[in-house]
């Protein structure tokens, strides 16, 4: 594994968290939730669509597309002190920094563990993933823990809160 020295490690980790969350959840969300009702099953389908939209916008480095999937007062909390972003403008600006870590379409995430559930108008997901970013010829790889809370508002699922963490001190150049 090599670390891309042109991009601050913190931005790589944060960007990886968001990409990993989408990649970890979208294909396998049905495996980690057991819908109790038809409504929960429909909610599960809507959450899969949200993850697909997020992954597409994240991969394309489309900040506006990403922000559209978050509740207006959503927050993202990162690994380090001061890594908290709230509301559309901060989330959009944070993503501009996250996108610096990879070339468009050049990130991968391998889910290692995931667990979640849909309960009425709320849902949650926790995952552990191995994330790989490619920028030019540089490749960065790291492990990532993520959790997200969703809320159904006005008939639409949105991200309400997100948190991610990793062991940044374990990385070597």
Extents of the domains making up the chain: 9-170
Is the confidence at residue 20, as pLDDT, over 60? no
Is the confidence at residue 3, as pLDDT, over 50? no
pLDDT for the residue 30: 46
Is the confidence at residue 2, as pLDDT, over 80? no
pLDDT tens digits, one per residue of 125-151: 888 888 888 999 999 998 888 899 999
Segment among 1-15, 75-89, 101-115 with least mean pLDDT: 1-15
Higher-scoring residue by pLDDT: 57, 44: 57
pLDDT for the residue 136: 95
pLDDT for the residue 72: 95
Query: In whole angstroms, what is the distance from residue 89 CA to residue 91 CA?
Result: 5
Buried b or exposed e, range 95-134, using 16+ CB within 10 angstroms: beebbbbbeeeebbbebeebebebeeeebbbbbbbbbbbb
Buried b or exposed e, range 34-56, using 16+ CB within 10 angstroms: eeeeeebeebbebbbebbebbbe
State pTM to two decimals: 0.75
CATH pick for 9-170 out of 3.40.50.300, 3.10.450.50, 3.20.20.80, 3.40.630.10: 3.10.450.50
Q: Which residues contact 109 (CB under 8 A, 6 or more apart)?
A: 16, 19, 20, 22, 23, 24, 129, 130, 131, 132, 144
């Amino acid at each position: 594994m090599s670390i891309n020295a042109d991009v601050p490690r913190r931005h790589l980790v944060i960007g990886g968290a968001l990409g990993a969350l989408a990649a970890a959840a979208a294909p396998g969300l049905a495996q980690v939730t057991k819908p109790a009702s038809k409504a929960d099953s429909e909610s599960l389908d809507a959450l899969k669509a949200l993850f697909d939209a997020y992954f597409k916008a994240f991969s394309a480095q489309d900040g506006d597309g990403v922000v559209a999937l978050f509740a207006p007062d959503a927050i993202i909390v990162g690994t380090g002190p001061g890594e908290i972003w709230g509301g559309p403008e901060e989330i959009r600006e944070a993503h501009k920094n996250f996108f610096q870590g990879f070339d468009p379409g050049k990130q991968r995430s391998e889910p290692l563990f995931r667990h979640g559930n849909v309960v009425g108008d709320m849902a949650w997901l926790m995952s552990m993933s191995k994330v790989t970013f490619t920028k030019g010829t540089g490749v960065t790889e790291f492990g990532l823990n993520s959790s997200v809370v969703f809320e159904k508002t006005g008939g639409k699922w949105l991200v309400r809160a997100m948190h991610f963490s990793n062991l940044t001190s374990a990385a070597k150049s």
